């Protein structure tokens, strides 16, 4: 079924005319985007630990929602309302490019794209194991290669751990890039610019600096919390793996101990042997 973004509007002579509705187009596109994002997050959430689910909630609610609903509107006027106290042609554009080498909103968009890619890697690995298991089952009369393809064991455990390291590294790298480009996370109300073709040092002003500063700090704090959640999940995964290895090792030691005692009980006691001498040699019989 094809949904057209059109509506019927009455004209001056009373007849209806069909026109394209831009607002409806945006709503349809947003609905499709949210549906795709929801299905993606539900697929990732199915194979995540408790810490991974908290991380997904942080990304979805505190970063993507804020980015889509509020941050884009706050930064939507940054180039239009950037004003310098000069009429020299080109000076305002040069100063804007110097003060904002890359827009905060575009930097955060890249960050969200890169930080969600490792989760797709985990889902792709699980789908690969499911396909491999179904192929094995068809060739071996219903027997399965994996008891649970989504269980984090073997290669999938390493894939999940690498995805956590990558996500934490991406967030940390973008925090450093933002700090390095803007020399901190502050948003000054007044900036000085003395680049050509400006005739002298001019004063430049950005729109809504306090609001932009609040959103910048919010996104930085949410990124730091996501890094912390990734580190906690790494420790959780490694701790569970070490606990499992120790349990297997203890079970093997108990089994070996039981087998040794069983062999000792089967063998006759030393007192039942008879000491014999033959040819100058002494042996037990």
The mean pLDDT of the chain is: 74
pLDDT per residue as tens digits for the range 216-233: 898 899 899 989 989 998
Distance CA 252, CA 246 (A): 10
Residue 151, CA distances (Å) to 86, 117, 148, 156 in order: 64, 20, 5, 8
Helices (H), the chain: 22-45, 50-57, 66, 72-74, 91-99, 104-139, 155-182, 209-266
pLDDT of residue 269: 57
Joined tokens for residue 247: 């349990």
Joined tokens for residue 216: 């910048």
Burial class (CB in 10 A: 0-12, 13-18, 19+), 60: middle
pLDDT of residue 62: 78
Reported confidence tier of residue 3, pLDDT bands at 50, 70, 90 = very low
Report whether pLDDT(137) > 90: no
Cβ–Cβ < 8 Å for 114, 170: yes
Kindly report the length of the chain: 285
Report whether pLDDT(37) > 80: no
Distance CA 96, CA 86 (A): 13
Q: At what angle do helices 155-182 and 104-139 cross, to 10 degrees?
A: 170
The Cα diameter of the chain in Å comes to 134
Joined tokens for residue 282: 């002494």
pLDDT of residue 4: 41
Q: Would you give the DSSP letter of residue 268?
A: P
Beta pairing class for 83-84 and 202-205: antiparallel
With H, G, I as helix, E, B as strand and everything else as coil, classify residue 225: helix
pLDDT of residue 117: 82
Buried b (16+ CB within 10 A) or exposed e, 9-47: eeeeeeeeeeeeeeeeeeeeeeeeeeeeeeeebeebeeb
Reported confidence tier of residue 276, pLDDT bands at 50, 70, 90 = low
Query: Would you state the torsion angle of the CA atoms of residues 216, 220, 223, 229, taken in this order, to the nearest 10 degrees?
Result: -140
- Most confident by average pLDDT, 13-17, 90-94, 130-134, 245-249: 90-94
Per-residue pLDDT, averaged over 238-243, amounts to 86
Percent of the chain with pLDDT over 70: 67
Joined tokens for residue 206: 């950005």
pLDDT per residue as tens digits for the range 111-124: 888 888 887 887 77
Cβ–Cβ < 8 Å for 33, 60: no
Cβ–Cβ < 8 Å for 185, 220: yes
Q: For the chain, which domains are there?
A: 1-32 (no CATH), 49-236 (1.20.1440.80)
- Least confident piece of the model among 23-32, 36-45, 189-198, 221-230: 23-32
pTM equals 0.68
Reported confidence tier of residue 241, pLDDT bands at 50, 70, 90 = confident
pLDDT per residue as tens digits for the range 143-185: 666 655 556 666 777 888 888 899 999 999 999 999 998 888 8
- Between these two residues, 81 and 266, which has the higher pLDDT value? 81
Beta bridge partners, 84, equal 204
- Least confident piece of the model among 5-14, 65-74, 135-144: 5-14
């Amino acid at each position: 079924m094809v949904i057209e973004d059109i509506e019927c509007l009455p004209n001056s002579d009373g007849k209806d005319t069909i026109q394209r509705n831009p607002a409806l187009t945006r709503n349809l596109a947003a609905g499709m985007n949210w549906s795709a994002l929801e299905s993606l997050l539900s697929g990732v959430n199915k194979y995540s630990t408790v810490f991974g689910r908290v991380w997904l909630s942080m990304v979805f609610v505190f970063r993507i929602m804020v980015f889509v609903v509020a941050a884009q509107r706050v930064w939507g006027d940054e180039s239009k309302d950037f004003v310098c106290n000069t009429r020299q042609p080109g000076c305002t554009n040069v100063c804007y490019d110097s003060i904002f080498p890359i827009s905060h909103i575009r930097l955060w968009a890249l960050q969200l794209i890169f930080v969600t890619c490792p989760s797709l890697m985990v889902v792709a690995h699980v789908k690969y194991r499911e396909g491999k298991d179904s192929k094995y089952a068809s060739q071996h009369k219903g027997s399965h290669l994996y008891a649970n393809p989504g269980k984090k064991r073997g290669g999938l455990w390493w894939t999940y751990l690498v995805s956590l390291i990558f996500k934490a590294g991406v967030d940390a790298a973008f925090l450093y890039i933002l700090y390095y480009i803007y020399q901190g996370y502050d948003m000054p109300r007044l900036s000085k610019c003395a680049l050509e073709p400006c005739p002298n040092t001019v004063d430049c002003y950005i729109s809504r600096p306090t609001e932009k500063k609040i959103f910048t700090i919010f996104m930085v704090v949410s990124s730091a919390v996501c890094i912390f959640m990734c580190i906690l999940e790494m420790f959780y995964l490694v701790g569970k793996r070490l606990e499992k290895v120790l349990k297997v090792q203890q079970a093997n030691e108990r089994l070996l101990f039981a087998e040794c005692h069983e062999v000792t009980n089967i063998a006759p006691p030393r007192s039942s042997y008879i000491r014999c001498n033959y040819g100058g040699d002494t042996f037990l019989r």
